[in-house]
Amino acid sequence: MQQTTRTIVWFDEVTKTDIPLVGGKGANLGEMVHAQIPVPPGFIVTAGAYFKFLNDAGLTDEVRRYLKGLNVNDSRRLQEISEIIKDKISSASMPPAMVKEMKDAYRKLGQGLVAVRSSATAEDLPEASFAGQQSTFLNIQGEDEVVAAIQGCWSSLFESRAIFYREEHGFDHLKVGIAVPVQKMIQSEVSGVLFTVEPLSSDTTKILIEAIFGLGEAIVSGDITPDQYLLDKNGLRIIDKKVHKQEWQLSKNTNIPSGELEANVKVPVPASKQSRQKLADKDIVALAKIGKTIEDLYQFPQDIEWAKQGTQLFILQTRPVTTLKATDTAKTFHKIEAQAILTGVAASPGIAVGPVKIVPVASQIDRVKNGDVLVAEMTTPDFVPAMKRASAIVTDRGGRTAHAAIVSRELGIPCVVGTEVATKTLKDGQEITVDGSIGEVYAGRVAEPTKSAPAVITQERIKTKTRVYVNLAEPELAETIASRHVDGVGLLRAEFMIAQIGGHPRYMLHEGKGDQFMEMLARGITTFTKAFHPRPVV
């Protein structure tokens, strides 16, 4: 298409060739629409509209003057300049014709709740990655509110982290544009994740689906143990189902005062529905079919977020599965000839033996010593210090995308989640064996500990233009990971470092300990940047 003078384009008008106009996120939405994948409808405010806005408002030269000679390593000055530029962009008037086009498009979309997201792009910098640097606004409703959110996305192009990134990479700030996808929000009745590969064993012949009632955030937090459906990929045949009771769900709070942020609320699931299978078999098969289509489109196994509203299934997001093993890890599993005392969801492979330490709340994590098996209802970032000392983790709730599962896989320790009764069945000090490969727990020592099989790449390293970035949370792993063939850190999960500081950021600021908080956080970040220098850490 490539008509840079247009203000608005619809998802079905763009393809991957339009990245300079609509950014990678916008182009990806267009590709999925053309592949007849059911994504929520929407439109994109083009990068051309952003550049026109800057020029018409007389901001191009002004922004350049503010940024000239800026030392981005002076964090206070960087933040000060960032706030000035963002305020200039947010308060400038848009051309009336442009505002009218945005409002017309929003009315055409139905005037309901929308997500307003950023999609940065640079026409002559195809290798640049701007992921996670700009703003997203969810549950926006109203013509003026949508226009304001779009302008907010534009101003977020000058967040301090975005300015720093461009300076570090030598990019011209005013050659980097930003497109803004505006997409209808789905009020999920059922939601979840789909893997087009069995993520623990890397079995590419299987599809795994997790599902819960309500909004999908409860899967990621580990608050709810999801249903699991395993399918044969070739025949789309359901070969295993695990249905879990669900007593409450997350829903949008519609009873909030005007002008306040939307919030999610816990709503009881009716007793007659609590033990019901979340997705009907026909929907499971239909969703798996969509998953296969997406995998074929991107030619790589995918981790897909989905939602169901009414009778319609929607794809919210897709990303490549990054934890595949180069070898068949299923062959490394050791069959244990004993009766399991607990069964749950296999969340991180390997076998561990150790004494039980039940931790009801995060304030008691000091009870966990090296080699203990941490047992909890669920984990949060506050549990991370104890998780590092544990030989294995067992939880009552959660699925394979819960906090306990994600951190266990990163730490390389066995994990079983969603047992429902671990904290009630197990006793402090009791020796148990945990098999994270199949999701079972045994009384006593019934097997020797094993580590999960590492992902070993056997081929000689091939140099390509594709850069490989890692997600990291633990400073202790920085040196080890930095020594491997990676191009930098694509996502530094700072919440784990913040949890170890020992106080909520707002509390520390309130107590006048802001400098202490920043110093401790900077110390953790420096561990990563020093290990990876001169590679980027985002």
CATH number (3.40.50.2300, 3.50.30.10, 3.30.930.10, 3.10.20.30) of 334-443 reads 3.50.30.10
CATH 3.30.1490.20 positions along the chain are 8-184
Tokens 């030392």 correspond to 71
- Domain at 190-320: CATH architecture: 2-Layer Sandwich (3.30)
Asked: is 8-184 a CATH 3.30.1490.20 domain? The reply is yes
Mean pLDDT, the chain cut into blocks of 10 residues (538 residues total): 77 89 85 92 95 94 91 84 93 95 96 87 53 70 93 91 80 89 90 89 91 85 88 95 91 61 76 96 97 91 90 86 54 71 92 96 91 94 87 93 85 92 96 94 90 41 67 77 84 72 74 80 84 84
Q: Known catalytic residue: 244?
A: no
β-bridge mates for residue 117, sequence order: 136
What tokens were used for 526? 């420096």
Number of Cβ atoms within 10 Å of the Cβ of 23? 28
CATH 3.30.470.20 positions along the chain are 190-320
Q: At what angle do helices 160-168 and 75-91 cross, to 10 degrees?
A: 110
The whole-number pLDDT of residue 47 equals 92
- d(CA 202, CA 412) in angstroms, rounded, equals 16
The whole-number pLDDT of residue 456 equals 35
- d(CA 245, CA 45) in angstroms, rounded, equals 43
Rg (CA), the chain: 24
- d(CA 266, CA 82) in angstroms, rounded, equals 37
Which one of the listed residues 173, 244, 334, 403 is annotated catalytic? 403
Alpha helices in 57-155 (DSSP H): 60-67, 75-91, 96-109, 143-155
CATH 3.50.30.10 positions along the chain are 334-443
The whole-number pLDDT of residue 255 equals 65
The whole-number pLDDT of residue 1 equals 54
> Is residue 72 a contact partner of residue 168, using CB atoms and an 8 Å limit?
yes
Q: Which amino acid is at 242?
A: K
